[in-house]
Amino acid sequence: MKIVGAHTTSGIVPLTGGVSSDIYCVELPETSICVKRALPKLKVAADWRVPPERNRNEVEWIKAAGAIVPGAVPEILGEDAEGGAFAMAYLPPEIYPNWKERLRDGDIDIAVAAAVGDALGRIHAATASDPSMAARFANDAIFDAIRLEPYLAATGRAHRDLSDRFAALVDTTRAHKLAMIHGDFSPKNILSGPKGPVILDAECATFGDPAFDLAFVQNHLLLKGAWQPQWRKRYVDAYFALEHAYETHVSWEPPAALAARTAALLPGLMLARIDGKSPVEYLTSDAAKDEVREFARALLVAPVEEPSAIAERWMT
């Protein structure tokens, strides 16, 4: 990967916000670029190690998603596959604010949520049942190491009475290889650009279950309501807007089947962000954590068939 010459003057500024990579803004004479290098050990309290070659997944996902939804990903400028690093366009935060930060501050734009759901649905629909995509994103080992094990399996070990339920979620997710999925489809990995959302951080992309991406982002919209309860209804409105925009693209399977798997995953992911290997950093009070635990455990014991039912119960 060569983007600049040996004698080019540059400034390097570390960027914050991620736990899986070192990320830098490299300031060049005429522009700025972003360089990302995957870490073999994630920056969390648990001993969480994953293959650094996952950066290759991210580059491939960005290329594929960009061909489906132009403008929804940053431009790739260069790649060092052997070194586990790549460079992409730098998107300044004053123009591309982070969606998580907007949600945190009460800037809950329903149109942004709908645009996010639309982009995700288009990506899933365009790659569903495509053997070439299945071969290109045969990344089960990395997805297991970064998502299924630390989120679902680890939470099952923390809640022994629900271990069979979490094992079933893992098995169901593994069994439904239907489309190219992002794997970390969270508001922190989405920028709110002037022409629509820009999606980042697809390190654990794989050919897998679209329900995982949908449940992953909807989970965060619910958890924001435990973090900022004064805006809970507005977060739920965003949850519904995202879901409705997404479901217009569901053609690869009966929508009810996808909805049922999403509704099953949601409480598992909620509990995982409290007691798994990667708890959300913003829920710090025991009261907030206990609220999520009680809510999620009840839905794991007695599952519902529709994500809408979960959101409605969250509001009661």
CB 57 within 8 A of CB 203: yes
Residues in the chain: 316
Fold held by 93-314: Aminoglycoside 3'-phosphotransferase; Chain: A, domain 2 (3.90.1200)
Look at residue 80 in the predicted model and tell me its pLDDT: 85
Q: What is the tens place of the pLDDT at every residue in 67-87?
A: 999 999 999 999 887 777 889
| Main-chain phi, psi angles of 119, to 5 degrees | -65, -45
Rounded to the nearest 10°, the torsion over CA 34, 39, 152, 237 is -20
Query: Could you give the C-alpha distances from 176 to 12, 22, 181, 253, 258, in angstroms and in order?
Result: 42, 32, 11, 11, 10
Look at residue 7 in the predicted model and tell me its pLDDT: 46
Checking phi first, is residue 129 left (phi over 0); if not, alpha (psi -120 to 50) or beta?
left
- Report the pLDDT averaged over residues 99-124: 98
Q: What percent of the chain has pLDDT over 90?
A: 78
pTM for the whole structure: 0.90
Look at residue 11 in the predicted model and tell me its pLDDT: 75
Task: State how far the Cα of 166 lies from the Cα of 303, in Å rounded to an integer.
Answer: 12
Q: Which residues contact 234 (CB under 8 A, 6 or more apart)?
A: 106, 108
Q: What is the tens place of the pLDDT at every residue in 172-211?
A: 999 999 999 999 999 999 999 999 999 999 989 999 999 9
> Which of 89-93, 199-203, 287-291 is predicted most confidently?
287-291
Q: What percent of the chain has pLDDT over 70?
A: 91
